[in-house]
Structure 1
Amino acid sequence: MALIVGCQQSADGADRARGSAAPTSPAPHHGTVFLGPGDCGSRDEQFREVPCTSEKAVARVIGRHGGRPSTGPACPPVTDFVVHISQGYSPVDEDGDGDVGQGYACMRNLQAPHPGDPGGGGGPHTLVADCVYKAGGGRVKETACDGSGKRKPQFKIESAVATRPQCPSWTDLYVRLRGDKPVGCAHRV
């Protein structure tokens, strides 16, 4: 059985498919790498790549790396969330073989809010100008500085330094950060 499908341009200039049946194929892929830099995604039951012009697009990839976030390069500081890409079958992949390699995509929301911004209350990094609260067990968790998060802020990170003795005398809490200045100097708010 042969399926014949052609395209016809309508009066409004859009291409329209015509034929006796619609072809069945995987969802269209929009880049050379699944969720590659600059690609956009939607949040349905699972995160999917969609054209950035789609009404379903909610975030853009601002970094894409192989491996795991804990061992790979850090996402940019303004990352709002991270999408973990597992190895295995996917209906959308870069070469159509059904296999998407393991990695992660650093995502930035197309519209506010941006929890990855300093003081925004989220994102994968804790930054200078972020607020935190004590979560128990010697841990702290980030929360929105404006108090709109589930927990009210207890401390605000005012600076980052290489070692604890470099923090100002007013420091009430030391917070572990990433990078060449891994100590955050925080004061009570």
Structure 2
Amino acid sequence: MGARRSVGTGAALLAALLSLTGCQKTSGGAGREGPKGRPGGTSASARPSGHGAVFLGVGECSSFGTASFTEVPCDGERAAARVVARFDGDPDHGPACPANTDFVLHIGAQPPPAGAAGERAVPRGYACMRDLEPPHPGDPGGGGGPRTIVGDCVYGAGRGEVRETACDGTGRRKPEYRVVRAVARRSQCPPATALYVQLGGEEPVGCARRL
């Protein structure tokens, strides 16, 4: 985690649209992705901290709310999640978030506020977020996060798709398979593999065994 920092008293308000998304992975070579984990389509207002040139830069924190996410001091009582990686552009075509990411905030492009000297525009991008307190849905077996990784559990969702769920059975659906290995090709999976799960990355095939 980065160092704790406080909001500058001279920081101006800046509106930015954020949406909260995750993704599910599919099995059987279907090759599709869709929302999973936290609810998607959330819009939010945001306030810069004055810490640097990047809004919600690495190490900075956001609050949680039913309809908004605001940049806040990491040592404040409203802080709920920290930025572990930050990228400009579209997450569908940009770098993947770290494996321990709990959720992703999509940041809409915003021009600098009118008449606000020194304020900068906010480019379209996304922030990979990690909750400050457990549970962490992005951890192996946690049942959420933007990536399916080794240690995660899934259940069949129909049409050749699987969705992630908590391995301890606390999710809305019971786990049916656990991803035990990530490999480059299906032929590298153990003989006991019952399901192939699309993971992406350099080792895009997840070898899952039935629970």
Specify which of 102, 105, 116 is matched with residue 124 of structure 2: 102
- Asked whether 1:37 is paired with 2:37, we answer no
TM score, norm. by length of structure 2: 0.73
Deviations 1:114-137 (A, max 9, x none): 000000000001001100011111
Aligned to 1:69: 91
Distance change (3 Å), C-alpha of 1:171 and 1:56? same
- Secondary structure of the 2:70 match is strand
Aligned counterparts, 1:85-164, within 5 A: 85-88=107-110, 96-97=119-120, 99-164=121-186
Deviations 1:103-152 (A, max 9, x none): 00000000001000000000001001100011111111111000011111
Higher CA-based Rg: 1
Q: Which amino acid letter does the alignment assign opposite residue 103 of structure 2?
A: F
Structure 2: state its 5+ residue gaps. 1-8, 14-46
Structure 1: state its 5+ residue gaps. 1-16, 18-22
- Secondary structure of the 1:165 match is helix
Shift of 1:43: 1.3
Q: Percent identity?
A: 56
TM score, norm. by length of structure 1: 0.81
Greater strand fraction, Structure 1 or Structure 2 = 1
Counting matched residue pairs gives 165
C-alpha root-mean-square deviation of aligned residues, in Å? 2.2
Shift of 1:62: 0.2
Higher RCO, Cα 8 Å, sep 6+: 2
Moved over 4 A (4+): none
